[in-house]
Amino acid sequence: MELKKSPKANLENKKTLFTEIGLIVALAVVLVAFEHKTREKAVSTLEEEVYIPVEEEIIPITQETPPPKPDMPKIPQLSDEIDIVSDDIQVEDIIINTEDIADMGVQVMDYVAEVEEEEIEEEIIMSAAVEEEPSFNGGDKNDFSRWVQQRLVYPQIALENGIQGTVMLQFDIDKNGNLVNIVVLRGIDKTIDEEAVRVVSSSPKWSPGRNNDLPVKVRYIFPVQFQLR
């Protein structure tokens, strides 16, 4: 007689289910074991840590001793006793005889107060405001301009560099007719400026300017031209 199994009693159909349950149980066991080891390690680490208390350094408080108070000055005690001093000392009058000093060779000088002389600043009049202008060799400033141009020597450096222009000078004709106080108001080149001053300063005397028929100092603004040809 042949035995037949029912489909419900066949365990081959539940083999896959049992395999999955076994894997789940194995995984759970591994996780529990891992957590147990981690907790033991954490506990052992905490047990190994030792707390070492740090002693606080106590700094003693230093108290400064105040300086001693200065001694109070002693009040002088006045005595009621009065000493009477006799006034019997005789003082001889000393009489100085100037004749005796003269005989000794000492000369007595009278005191004389020194008086400083006040410097009077000379008034300078511009050429346009003077009644009678200074004259140069019987002529005027135009004659002086021609005289200057005839004596100018063009500096070689300025000539090579092609420098030209007008140098503006200022000078005074004093009461004696001398040309003084030469100033370069506007220059164009050092060598050219020096040449203009050299020629103008070599000017002979002028006839001084006059106001109310009196000689006065007159100031001029004078151009000196340098032109290349």
CATH number for the domain that contains residue 139: 3.30.2420
Name beta bridge partners: 180: 172
Angle separating helix axes 190-201 and 141-151, nearest 10 degrees: 120
Confidence of residue 115 (pLDDT cuts 50, 70, 90): very low
Query: How do beta strands 124-126 and 214-226 pair?
Result: parallel
Residue partners of 224: CB distance under 8 A and separation at least 6? 148, 149, 152, 166, 167, 168, 169, 196, 199, 200
Task: Please give the pLDDT value at position 35.
Answer: 74
Residue 56 domain-assigned (yes or no):
no
Residue 67 domain-assigned (yes or no):
no
Residue 73 domain-assigned (yes or no):
no
φ, ψ (nearest 5 deg) of residue 168 = -95, 120
The whole-number average pLDDT for the span 49-65 is 59
Please give the Cα distance from 137 to 148 (Å, whole number): 13
Please give the Cα distance from 225 to 192 (Å, whole number): 10
Residue 219 domain-assigned (yes or no):
yes
Residue with the bigger pLDDT between 74 and 196: it is: 196
φ, ψ (nearest 5 deg) of residue 207 = -85, 120
Residue 184 domain-assigned (yes or no):
yes
Confidence of residue 45 (pLDDT cuts 50, 70, 90): low
Whether the Cβ atoms of residue 191 and residue 225 lie closer than 8 Å to each other: no
Whether the Cβ atoms of residue 167 and residue 192 lie closer than 8 Å to each other: yes
Q: Which domain holds residue 217?
A: 124-226
Confidence of residue 108 (pLDDT cuts 50, 70, 90): very low
Residue 22 domain-assigned (yes or no):
no
CA atoms within 13 A on the CB side of 77: 3
Task: Please give the pLDDT value at position 30.
Answer: 80
Where do we find the tokens 């070492």? Answer: 52
Residue with the bigger pLDDT between 23 and 87: it is: 23
Task: Please give the pLDDT value at position 12.
Answer: 63
Q: Which two tokens stand for residue 40?
A: 């033991």
- Judged by average pLDDT, the poorest of 36-50, 69-83, 189-203 is 36-50
Question: How many domains is the chain built from?
Answer: 1
Q: The whole model's pTM is what?
A: 0.47
- Check pLDDT > 80 for residue 94: no
Q: Which two tokens stand for residue 51?
A: 């707390």
Whether the Cβ atoms of residue 172 and residue 218 lie closer than 8 Å to each other: yes
Task: Please give the pLDDT value at position 195.
Answer: 96
Whether the Cβ atoms of residue 196 and residue 167 lie closer than 8 Å to each other: yes
- 10-36 exposure pattern, b = at least 16 Cβ within 10 A, e = fewer: eeeeeeeeeeeeeeeeeeeeeeeeeee
| Kind plus residue range of the DSSP H or E element containing 171 | strand 165-173
Q: Which amino acid is at 23?
A: L
* Alpha helices by DSSP H, 49-189: 98-103, 141-151, 156-160
Residue 83 domain-assigned (yes or no):
no
Longest dimension (CA), the chain: 194
Residue 209 domain-assigned (yes or no):
yes
